[in-house]
Structure 1
Amino acid sequence: MFKLPTTVKTLALSLTMLTAVSSNNAVAWGQNGHRVIGEIAQMHLTEATQLALQPILDGESLAQVSTWPDEMRSSPEHFWRKESGKWHYINIKDAKKMHQYVNTSIDSKDKVAHILDGIYFSINVLKNNESSLEEQQFALKFLVHLVGDGHQPFHAGRSEDRGGNLIKVSFFGKETNLHSTWDTHLVENENLSFKEFADFIKTSNKKTIKSYLNSQPADWLLESNKISARIYEQNETELSYGYVYKQMPIVKKRLSQGGIRLAGLLNQIFDKNAKPLTEALIKKRG
């Protein structure tokens, strides 16, 4: 297993409960990764959903708004400084009890304790016909971002190392940490713009799309948790070509899944004629 420095490990043991609810300062997927997810989602929106989103997006695209919640964390407002961080991740103590984290009716941003709450809060705001345009814009931008975060494995990683932030690694000889490697370095190593990356990994395969959509947000976080657990077990710290070869297929799949699933959510919210498992997520498990 990855080992923490002795002093950090000692602190982590005594501050586990604090780190479980503290702000995670990492920027999931970096700007390019989030934009890839937004761009892929845009490809799968129905016409009705595109029309419904026009006033909310106000001339922007899903790719453009995908990084807004991270950019706003520099705001001096209390919410962005002290509250918004917990929206971006979750610490799953027992995967078998994932149902305890699911609250599909959450109706106040003050009640958001983790990323899953943030996703459902955003969905509920967008579904509510009485929500103001400003509230809808807030919710849409957060939803686009959080679906992306949920597909980055270390946003459902361990609390004691803050999702890999405290694990030092080198990426082609440059010092970094495990979380940043997955946020940014693996994606940027492809040397592609977000549009090029999205074009390279996009799919129109109905079977693949259906398999991705046959899920719920809690499933996405459990997937991330399992992937992060495998990466922890591999205990690699000197990362270069072999690591890229092994991990990039996972990165590409997670970005593709994030984009398709985001589109599914938006179609389900805004298009009453969207077909479950084709253009929208299923509402209930069969």
Structure 2
Amino acid sequence: MKIFRKISLVAIMFCLPVITFAWGTNGHRICGEIAYSYLTPKAKLAVQQILGNESVAMASNWADFIKSDDNYRYLSAWHYVDFDKPYTLPEMKAFLAKDTEVDAYTKMNFLIAELKKPTTTKENKLLYLHMLIHIVEDVHQPMHTAHKDDQGGNGFKVSWFGKPTNLHSIWDTELINFQELSYTEYAAAINHTTAAQRAEWQKAPISEWLYESNQLAEAIYAGAKPNDNLSYKYNFNNLATLNQQLLKGGVRLAGVLNEIFK
């Protein structure tokens, strides 16, 4: 009877819908590790006072892990911004200027404003910092600024080395995991920027982050067909873009936190 129960539980687990996380565990930690390396001393102290012994890298995944708690289901829509067509930069800015939806754009603006307020409670600061760290990283994963009709590529079915998956998951986890590096090794491998480059990336408004990611998402859609079996060539063709977005996500997160806690 006990064996039957165990088999039944395993079967149920395989029947549950797969939940995809932006960047996956390692991707978020890579961004967080990079961000921490560029925090000012003042920002480091402020972040530490809120997170306690939790590093920025480890805090990066809280927003995905908490999805299993029904009390936090309302946060699910904060992770992405879906678009119904490709936008030019002026169109993107005009669209976002009128955006009142619960999405990554409106919630990043909300979180930044709340974290700047001296009256924000300690409990809310912890929630808001966790979410801001995660969402800034999320929107640098191009498929979090992708098509509404396929849920950011979740409905775009492909295979990865013969294993059925979807385009969103390829960019969340498969490409990163294929490099076979720990998050600290990966961050060290790609974290090479100049002060001028960091300043350029950090001065861009959030609307430009989303435009850049959306443009990349359109290129990603164009670079694959439904039911394609993606493997070595896909990794070779897309690794530079992947690494650039991980790096930009970390650098820009540092810029946001430095501005909040200046």
Q: What TM-score, normalized by structure 1, do the two folds share? A: 0.80
Per the alignment, residue 64 of structure 1 pairs with 58
Matched, 1:227 2:221: no
User: CA contact under 8 A between 1:88 and 1:155: conserved in structure 2?
Assistant: yes
Per the alignment, residue 47 of structure 1 pairs with 41
Match of 1:29 among 23, 45, 51: 23
RMSD: 1.8
Letter in 2 for 1:119: M
**Partner Cα distance (1:145, 1:157) in 2:** 18
The structure with higher relative contact order (CA 8 Å, sep 6+) is: 2
User: CA contact under 8 A between 1:112 and 1:118: conserved in structure 2?
Assistant: no
Larger deviation, residues 85-94 vs 243-252: 85-94
Larger deviation, residues 171-180 vs 87-96: 87-96
Letter in 1 for 2:96: Y
**Partner Cα distance (1:163, 1:221) in 2:** 13
User: CA contact under 8 A between 1:102 and 1:117: conserved in structure 2?
Assistant: no
Deviations, residues 63-87 of structure 1 (Å, cap 9, x unaligned): 011000111110021xx23x21110
Per the alignment, residue 107 of structure 2 pairs with 118
User: CA contact under 8 A between 1:25 and 1:85: conserved in structure 2?
Assistant: no
Length, aligned pairs only: 239
User: CA contact under 8 A between 1:161 and 1:167: conserved in structure 2?
Assistant: yes
**Partner Cα distance (1:146, 1:112) in 2:** 15
Per the alignment, residue 73 of structure 1 pairs with 67
Matched, 1:151 2:140: yes
Q: Report matched runs for 1:1-286 at 5 Å.
A: 25-77=19-71, 80-81=72-73, 83-93=74-84, 95=87, 96-102=91-97, 113-236=102-225, 237-271=228-262
User: CA contact under 8 A between 1:89 and 1:115: conserved in structure 2?
Assistant: yes
3-state SS, counterpart of residue 165 of structure 1: coil
Q: Work out the percentage of aligned pairs sharing the same amino acid.
A: 37
**Partner Cα distance (2:235, 2:26) in 1:** 17
Seen in structure 2, the aligned counterparts of structure 1 residues 102 and 34 have a Cα distance that, compared at 3 Å, is farther
Larger deviation, residues 31-40 vs 87-96: 87-96
3-state SS, counterpart of residue 260 of structure 1: helix
**Partner Cα distance (2:92, 2:162) in 1:** 40
**Partner Cα distance (1:235, 1:191) in 2:** 23
User: CA contact under 8 A between 1:102 and 1:116: conserved in structure 2?
Assistant: no
Letter in 1 for 2:95: Q
Seen in structure 2, the aligned counterparts of structure 1 residues 138 and 112 have a Cα distance that, compared at 3 Å, is farther
Q: What TM-score, normalized by structure 2, do the two folds share? A: 0.87
Gaps of 5+ in 1: 1-23, 105-110, 272-286
Letter in 2 for 1:73: K
